[in-house]
Amino acid sequence: MNILEEYQSKLTSPEKAVSVVKSGDWVDYGSFTGQPVVLDKALAARKDELEDVKIRAVTAVRMPEVVKVDPEARHFVYNNWHFSGLDRKLHDQGVCWYSPILYNELPSYYRRFLDVDVAMIPVAPMDEKGFFNFGPQVSHTKAMLEKAKIIILEVNPKIPRCLGGLEEAIHISAVDHIVETEWELPQIQPVPPTELDNRIAGFIMPELVDGSCIQLGIGGMPNAMGKIIAQSDLKDLGVHTEMMTEAFVEMVEAGRVTGARKQIDRYKLTYTFSMGTQKTYDFLHNNPSCAIYPVDYVNNPWIIAKNDHVIAINNCVEVDLFGQVCSESSGTRQISGTGGQVDFTLGAYHSQGGKSFICLESTYKAKNGEIRSRINPILTPGAIVTTHRAMVNYVVTEHGIVNLKGKSTWERAEALISIAHPNFRDDLIKDAEKMGIWRRTAKLA
């Protein structure tokens, strides 16, 4: 049987494909823009036949039908490795559960610990060799499929073919069922930078040199950084980043990125997933200057550190005077996830000439209209420590930039108070004194 005949023999309807799911199964939906649409709808239609079907995904960009039809989560149990804004709302409603991870370890969780009864993922159309490309989200996909007892593909010609790298495709011989569909990838518009985002980015720019290897997180501040870099005169920048965004496309189009000075994956933009606009997806499609790898390569701190002058730029929710960073919860309320912040904070620091930056606006407006500090004596009770205090390198607000490496507790407190909003500094000093991390001789600049 040739590959075209095999394709036809495995081609089926969404309804027939999802008939393999049984009560109690673990079903994996894939990640980011690579989550099934017609298979999700077909599975949701079986609600009354099923109990305790446990679903895993990463960062929903559409409302899962299995959640929509089961508002009490009696039939489908929806779990997520990293929350989107939608996942956060579903969590608040009691129909989504967070699974903590170190992102670089996720493939190993599947290979070592997890069961997958059915995996269903969208893919690009089969090529002439019988391979289906995973599109703009390799992440942990191959490890997930290795453990799956049954694999169902949702073939979509709208999915860009993202070149590897490594582990970016699956052969038809490993597939059980194929469903054909056509839907547009979600368009994730860049968050417009604020004036404060631009001020924070301005403190980081002098830390970059020609040949720096860039990682940007998600949000307005990283987008501000990308725009400023695109408009700079920096040369031969490299890209080794968890998430490929439109900011990198702009940097390439401006001639800032060549990858010529990278120590590994030279001339390649290295990433593990992408969420963006059609411009980003068109840029990635069949682009040999880009290389998509699994997350245990891209986010491995020791792989990151092989490139020189790695610059890692990420946001957070709050920092306390000990230097502990919370980037994923508001008190006990889960709002995102650990993501790759820990991976790149560690990897960038161990890069020759590398630096990592944790960025935050110094204040925020609470629901009652009160202005509150994001630099606090201790983290909000219940807040999750994302990045250990000893790992933190630079912290940046619109009031300045400080290095915490090698600093004692009182030096850390002094440094962080110096970049807190001026209206909160006196109270922070009093709190630092009460906690025994302030010297009477310490003075703020």
Binding residues for CoA: 217-221, 317, 340
Feature table: binding site: 217-221, 317, 340
- CA 96 to CA 442: how far, in whole Å? 47
Q: Which residues contact 187 (CB under 8 A, 6 or more apart)?
A: 276, 277, 278
Q: Could you tell me the two tokens for 259?
A: 């990858």
CB atoms within 10 A of CB 113: 8
Q: Is 414 a catalytic residue?
A: no
Cα angle value 109/112/113 (rounded, 5°):
70
Tokens in use for 42?
């077909």
Q: Are 80 and 73 in contact (CB under 8 A)?
A: no
* Number of Cβ atoms within 10 Å of the Cβ of 149: 13
Closest CA to 176 of 121, 129, 218: 121
Within a 10 A sphere around the Cβ of 166, how many other Cβ atoms? 13
Q: Are strands 318-320 and 375-376 parallel, antiparallel or unpaired?
A: parallel
Return the bridge partners of 169, or none. Answer: 133
DSSP of 159-179: S--PPBSSS-EEEGGG-SEEE
Number of helices followed by number of strands (H, E) in the chain? 16, 26
Which listed residue (65, 154, 242, 398) is catalytic? 242
Catalytic annotation, residues: 242
